[in-house]
Amino acid sequence: MDTTLQDPLVGHLLDGRYRVDARIAVGGMATVYRALDTRLDRVLALKVMHPALAGDVAFVERFIREAKSVARLAHPNVVAVFDQGAQGAYVYLAMEYVEGCTLRDVLRERGALQPRAALDILEPVLAALGAAHRAGFVHRDMKPENVLIGDDGRVKVADFGLVRVLGDVTNTTGTVLGTVSYLAPEQIEHGTSDTRVDVYACGVVLHEMLTGGKPHAGDTPAQVLYLHLNEDVPAPSTAVPGLAAELDGIVAAATARDPDLRPYDAVALLALAREARSRLSDAQLDAVPPKAKPVPAGGAEGRTAVIPRVLPAEEPSRDRDRRRKPDGVHRTSRLEMAPPDLPHPAPRRTTRTTPPPRRGIIAAIVAVLLILGVGTGVWYINSGQFTRVPSLLGQTEQEAKKRLADAGLDVNVGNDFSDTFERGTVMGSDPDSRARVRGGGPVTIVVSRGPKIVKVPGLEGSTLAEARRVLKQAGLAAGVVTRSFDDNVEQGAVIRTDPASGDEVRPDSGIRLVVSKGSPVEVEDVTGETEEDATARLTDAGLKVRIAPARVNSPEDAGSVARQSVAEGAELARGDTVTLTLSKGPREVAVPDVTGQKVDEAKNALEDAGFEVSVDRSFPFLDDTVSEQSVGGGGTAPEGSTITIKTKGL
């Protein structure tokens, strides 16, 4: 029977905007529909929380948190969230609709994948998670069901419903959220989550893509949990002989039971995967795996579940009373999409798996309790003497110092080179993370200086600010900045560096930058011109003009340019400034009395006083003595003006 016909939302307009056309999948928390946004006329997926859960504040908050978290990512490999809202009992997310199938569908149909195909899927998944990790989010429920593969080949990560913000409290009392086959040991043992739990899950997913099966299988969730806690994930080559050792290495690094031994986040794992791919030949990448048994559709270990976490013996009895019995585990069904070129399957009813026999579950949990009980006892005996070093790898120096201070531990800082850890992040500590320290420490953290050899980045054409930022990111420093005219490089852009782009240098080296001043502008002579005319000429040439606040006496007319800061013919860059000083006219100077003096003597006296001299010799051959001067001695005249002197006549 087609249960879609009985769905009250199909065929209705939700929130006055979204026309619900068909039901795609049903989960324990929500139902996914294909819908049409009537306002924007586009097909999308509508994820609607089950009305029975709408009254549960915790579920509603988680639902809204998914919308806000994913909306902040805006990454091409993350299923986008367009809108979030509610109408009555229906709380919904409007999401990107991906026409295609899930990775689970692919594995169920094909079994193991070729290494090239597995890496082609893994890399965009890690890119999406890397964006989430760098934005401060942890997915916490990575599995093949949440990897969508579009008909156009695009790979996208979906279902951030269990997302957590890094720095929030990520441990839970008595329960662990996630899918048991992909839970990291620290999620199971302590209920804690950071970026490395997603790294672990991706390692399990890669193992499954390469082998066609999960690394740890069991009849009950408790058995699977026990294996994740106590056994390493086997190398994929043990199940598929001939797989390259580099692929085993990726899985081993990602699924290390000690989280401190894993790549810190998805970005680091992506770098590891790409490096491994670069070392593989085409034959190794295209190796055809043996026909594997398809992954079963069911199985208690394959579902998102709320798993009881084993509590230490000394926890208060009220916490123990809150634990669910193992055979009362609650699970949610998978949200599945139809594979390409196949009609959407008839939706399944949400069902509860028949509880497994109590004896098997109890035996597994007793074994876990015995393991945890020993550690709990040691912790209890030494609780007053020792402090456990928090996880520090990959943290910035400031973050690591704060974590240690919050733990009551003193800190020393050292530095070393690293090709793996980003500059400024913690690459190691002494004692190691999770080790016990007596009293207040101290703990020495080793901060990465980046690689020992750094290539000078290509900065030609970059602005000076961009060049400084790129150099800092590369672990280098901007050295002396010089400027040079260049007709071909835009003003303010880098012409070249010294050492040159691509040269190898040590970290923290200073890189000299030569920055373009653009084409040169030749300065014109504007002295004697009015302020308005001089300013217009210089501005038209591409220069800026500044008028000096004080005027000076000069031979130039009052208000005209007396002098300029840059001489005629000099070259400046476009936008450089020329300062103009205006004249307040010539100053008045006392005129010396030169009558009775010989002409040459009189000229010298007047010129020394700042005047020009004109001689009028009416009878040059009769006498050379000054008889008159145009301005009498003791009077004043403008500096630089002309004084006329006459010789005696008959």
Q: Give the pLDDT mean for 172-180.
A: 48
pLDDT of residue 461: 92
Q: Give the pLDDT mean for 581-605.
A: 91
Strand-strand pairing, 13-14 and 18-26: antiparallel
- Domain covering 520-582 in this structure, CATH number: 3.30.10.20
Q: Give the pLDDT mean for 549-562.
A: 90
Band of pLDDT at residue 113, cut at 50, 70 and 90? very high
H-run or E-run covering 179: strand 175-179
Classify the C-alpha dihedral 531-534-539-540 as positive or negative: positive
pLDDT at 574 over 60: yes
Half-sphere exposure of 472 (CA within 13 A, CB side): 6
Band of pLDDT at residue 619, cut at 50, 70 and 90? low
Q: Which of 105, 141, 194, 260 is catalytic?
A: 141
Query: Who has greater pLDDT, 152 or 296?
Result: 152
pLDDT digits (tens, 9 = 90+) for 325-377: 333 322 222 333 333 333 333 333 333 333 344 444 444 444 444 334 433 33
Q: Give the pLDDT mean for 526-553.
A: 93
pLDDT of residue 244: 94
Q: Give the pLDDT mean for 623-633.
A: 87
Contact 614, 645 (CB under 8 A): yes
CA 89/CA 599 separation, integer angstroms: 115
Question: For 353, phi and psi rounded to 5 degrees?
Answer: -65, 140
pLDDT digits (tens, 9 = 90+) for 67-80: 776 777 778 999 98
pLDDT at 58 over 50: yes
pLDDT at 25 over 50: yes
pLDDT of residue 385: 56
Q: Give the pLDDT mean for 137-144.
A: 88
CA 586/CA 605 separation, integer angstroms: 19
CA 86/CA 94 separation, integer angstroms: 11
pLDDT at 577 over 90: yes
pLDDT at 379 over 70: no
DSSP string across 337-375: -PPTTSPPPPPPPP--PPPPPHHHHHHHHHHHHHHHHHH
pLDDT digits (tens, 9 = 90+) for 464-517: 999 999 998 888 888 888 999 998 999 999 999 999 998 888 887 889 999 999
Contact 148, 24 (CB under 8 A): no
pLDDT of residue 588: 86
Q: Give the three-state DSSP class for 529.
A: coil
Minimal CA–CA distance to 198: which of 267, 274, 244, 245?
Answer: 267
Half-sphere exposure of 335 (CA within 13 A, CB side): 24
Q: Give the pLDDT mean for 58-67.
A: 70
CB neighbour list of residue 251: distance below 8 Å, 6 or more residues apart: 203, 206, 207, 210, 233, 235, 236
pLDDT of residue 618: 67
pLDDT at 270 over 60: yes
Strand-strand pairing, 510-516 and 504-505: unpaired
The average confidence (pLDDT) of the chain is 79
Query: Who has greater pLDDT, 451 or 170?
Result: 451
| Amino acid present at 474 | A
Q: How far is CA 64 from CA 42, 55, 95, 544, in A?
A: 22, 14, 13, 55
Query: Who has greater pLDDT, 148 or 292?
Result: 148
Q: Give the pLDDT mean for 207-234.
A: 88
pLDDT of residue 161: 53
Answer CATH for 385-448 from 3.40.30.10, 3.20.20.70, 3.30.10.20, 1.10.3720.10: 3.30.10.20
| Amino acid present at 383 | S
pLDDT at 178 over 60: no
Q: Where are the domains of the chain?
A: 1-97, 100-347+356-377, 385-448, 454-516, 520-582, 588-647
Strand-strand pairing, 436-438 and 411-416: unpaired
Band of pLDDT at residue 277, cut at 50, 70 and 90? very high
Q: Give the pLDDT mean for 134-157.
A: 89
CA 389/CA 398 separation, integer angstroms: 16
Residue % of the chain over a pLDDT of 70: 78
Strand-strand pairing, 544-547 and 577-582: parallel
Tell which CATH architecture fits domain 100-347+356-377: Orthogonal Bundle (1.10)
CATH entry 3.30.200.20 includes domain 1-97: yes
pLDDT at 382 over 60: no
Residue 21 bears catalytic tag? no
pLDDT at 174 over 50: no
pLDDT of residue 66: 64
Name 614's bridge partners: 644
Q: Give the pLDDT mean for 169-191.
A: 64
Name 504's bridge partners: 455
Task: Give the number of other Cβ atoms within 10 Å of residue 472's Cβ.
Answer: 12
Answer CATH for 588-647 from 3.40.50.150, 3.30.10.20, 3.40.1190.20, 3.90.870.40: 3.30.10.20
Contact 59, 29 (CB under 8 A): yes
Q: Does the fold of domain 588-647 match that of domain 385-448?
A: yes
pLDDT of residue 295: 43
Query: Who has greater pLDDT, 112 or 321?
Result: 112
Q: Give the pLDDT mean for 280-292.
A: 83
pLDDT at 631 over 80: yes
CA 636/CA 632 separation, integer angstroms: 8
Contact 404, 443 (CB under 8 A): yes
CATH entry 3.30.10.20 includes domain 454-516: yes
pTM of the predicted structure, to 2 decimals: 0.47
| Amino acid present at 113 | L
Q: Give the pLDDT mean for 6-27.
A: 88
